[in-house]
Structure formats: C-alpha cells, structure tokens
C-alpha cells in the first residue's frame, strides 16, 4: 500500500492507496500532521510514501515520514509520466505536476486541459503526444473576495455566493456577480480558447471549488475530486517500479 501526502498552506490531505484504489483519506491541520498521521496509517501495511508540498511542511515533519517509510519528495527532478516542456521546470508547482500525471494516466492520447479551482485557479495543458506545455494561474474565489475587501476602503468581506442574475442591485450583489459570474465566464472562455486553438477534447475540473463552479459552466467537463491524489499515487508507483 502507498501513503499519499498532499501539503497545502494550512491543511494536509493524506490518503492510502492499494494499487490504484483509494481505501482511506483524511484531512489534518498542518501543525498536528505528525500527531494525526500515526493513527491514520496504523491499520494499513504502508510500504512507501510520497510527499507533495506547496505549503510550509517543516524539515522535522518531512523527516518523520522519511524515517518511517521509503519516501519520495516530489520535485522537478522526480521522474514524471509526461514530457515537461515548461521553460522553467524548477518553478512548476508540484500540485500541477501531479494533476498532469493523473491526466497522462487516465486519458492517454488526448489533448487535455486540467483546471484546479482552489486558492488559485490553475490551467494546465497536455497534448496528445504526452507533452506538457504550460497553462495559466488566476486568483481563486476566496482570493478575489479577500482582495476586494483588503485593498479597498469600503467593500465588505463576503461569504461565497453564486448570484442568480448578472446585474447586482446592491453593493453586496455586485461583488458576488463580479467574483462568481466573472470566474465562471473566465473558465468557460479559457476552455473555449483551448478547444479552438488546440482541439482540446477532454477538460478536467478539480479542486475545492469544483462543486460550486461545475453546475454553472456551459462547457462539458469531468469533475474529479481526487484527481491530484491519484496523480501522486501514479508518480509514486512508477518511481518505485
């Protein structure tokens, strides 16, 4: 069995895979990661692990995992199941690497666009020949709400809300329209452009805001809540084969 660890800015997602099947998953607060990990893995014969970190995982926390299991710490030097044509591969986020790896496994021979709707919205394109070309990074939902509040004197900080109409008839509804309708139109527009320019035939939407956004998109997408974890598992299996 494989232990998959995805470290964000404040939380850690951990999963146990048996071959390609996820058999357990847990979300933990980053400061309590090591304390909670022992209980999580106690009932599983874990043989190896992979760590993907875009957050502030300490050396001590990483070492605790490495001392317990043979561990891959994902980086641009890790063997990947695609050709990385990014001009600065050392700056490519490990989360984006994992998403592209998941696509390479699930949809070989397809032109694909992977959209991860989280703190940021990332767009990643891999062609049918298995070459990763790059993509885009855009502010996510909460980042847009927070920025409007933090960088202006009079705009309130609002909770996420999908408006029914594009015209906001109050300041609050205008913010909701600008953030939420704006993101939906952005995603649909980018999908349309990739379909036109690169004949993209498969679009994946994943990340924490998938459910909020997927119902409002006009384009057909495949929603995969565990796509990143599946990609990490695939990278780990190939690295250790």
User: For residue range 106-160, what is the model confidence (pLDDT) as tens digits?
Assistant: 999 999 999 999 999 999 999 999 999 999 999 999 999 999 999 998 999 999 9
| Both tokens assigned to 119 | 């703190």
Residues 155 and 223 in one domain: yes
Strands 112-117 and 202-206: parallel
CA 133 to CA 229: how far, in whole Å?
21
Output the DSSP codes for 4-59. EEEE-SSEEEEEEEETTEEEEEEEEEGGGHHHHHHHHHTTS---EEEEEESS---H
pLDDT recorded at residue 30: 87
Average pLDDT over residues 40-44: 91
CATH number reported for the structural domain that contains residue 48 in this entry: 3.30.420.40
238 within domain boundaries: no
Indicate the annotated binding residues. Answer: 6-13, 86, 93-96, 116, 119, 171
211 within domain boundaries: yes
**Domain containing 206: what range?**
83-231
pLDDT for residue 197 is more than 90? yes
Whether residue 241 lies in the annotated active site: no
Average pLDDT over residues 37-62: 89
pLDDT recorded at residue 95: 94
Dihedrals φ, ψ of 147, to 5°?
A: -65, -45
Residues 164 and 216 in one domain: yes
Average pLDDT over residues 67-78: 93
CA 224 to CA 181: how far, in whole Å?
22
- Candidates 223, 231, 240; CA nearest to 100 is 231
pLDDT recorded at residue 11: 86
Indicate the annotated binding residues for K(+). Answer: 116
Residue ending a domain, among 49, 73, 97, is 73
pLDDT tens, position by position, 145-191: 999 999 998 999 999 999 999 999 999 999 999 999 999 999 999 99
Indicate the annotated binding residues for ATP. Answer: 6-13, 119
240 within domain boundaries: no
pLDDT recorded at residue 240: 64
pLDDT for residue 241 is more than 60? no
pLDDT recorded at residue 55: 74
Residues 87 and 65 in one domain: no
Indicate the average pLDDT of the chain. Answer: 93
Catalytic residue among 95, 169, 188, 201: 95
Bigger pLDDT: 140 vs 31: 140
pLDDT recorded at residue 56: 81
Indicate the annotated binding residues for substrate. Answer: 86, 93-96, 171
Residues 46 and 94 in one domain: no
Residues 66 and 87 in one domain: no
The model carries a pTM of 0.92
* Residues 52 and 5: beta-carbon distance below 8 Å: yes
Residues 39 and 97 in one domain: no
Residues 32 and 140 in one domain: no
pLDDT recorded at residue 24: 94
């Amino acid at each position: 069995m494989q232990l998959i660890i995805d470290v964000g800015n404040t939380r850690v997602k951990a999963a146990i895979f048996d071959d390609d099947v996820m058999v357990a998953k847990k979300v933990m607060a980053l400061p309590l990661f090591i304390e909670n990990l022992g209980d999580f893995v106690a009932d599983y014969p874990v043989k190896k692990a992979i760590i993907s970190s875009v957050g502030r995982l300490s050396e001590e926390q990483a070492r605790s995992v490495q001392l317990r299991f043979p561990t891959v710490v994902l980086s641009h030097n890790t063997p990947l199941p695609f050709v990385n044509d990014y001009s600065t591969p050392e700056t490519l986020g490990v989360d984006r690497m994992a998403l592209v790896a998941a696509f390479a496994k699930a949809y070989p021979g397809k032109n694909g666009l992977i959209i991860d709707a989280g703190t940021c919205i990332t767009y990643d394109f891999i062609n049918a020949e298995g070459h990763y070309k790059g993509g885009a990074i855009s502010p996510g939902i909460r980042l847009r709400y927070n920025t409007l509040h933090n960088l202006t004197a009079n705009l309130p900080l609002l909770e996420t809300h999908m408006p029914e109409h594009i015209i906001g008839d109050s300041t609050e509804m205008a913010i909701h329209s600008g953030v939420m309708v704006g993101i939906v139109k952005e995603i649909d527009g980018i999908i349309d452009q990739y379909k036109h320019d690169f004949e993209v035939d498969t679009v994946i939407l994943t990340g924490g805001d998938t459910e909020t956004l997927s119902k409002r998109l006009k384009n057909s997408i495949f929603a995969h809540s565990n796509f990143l974890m599946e990609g990490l598992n695939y990278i780990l299996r190939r690295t250790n084969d």
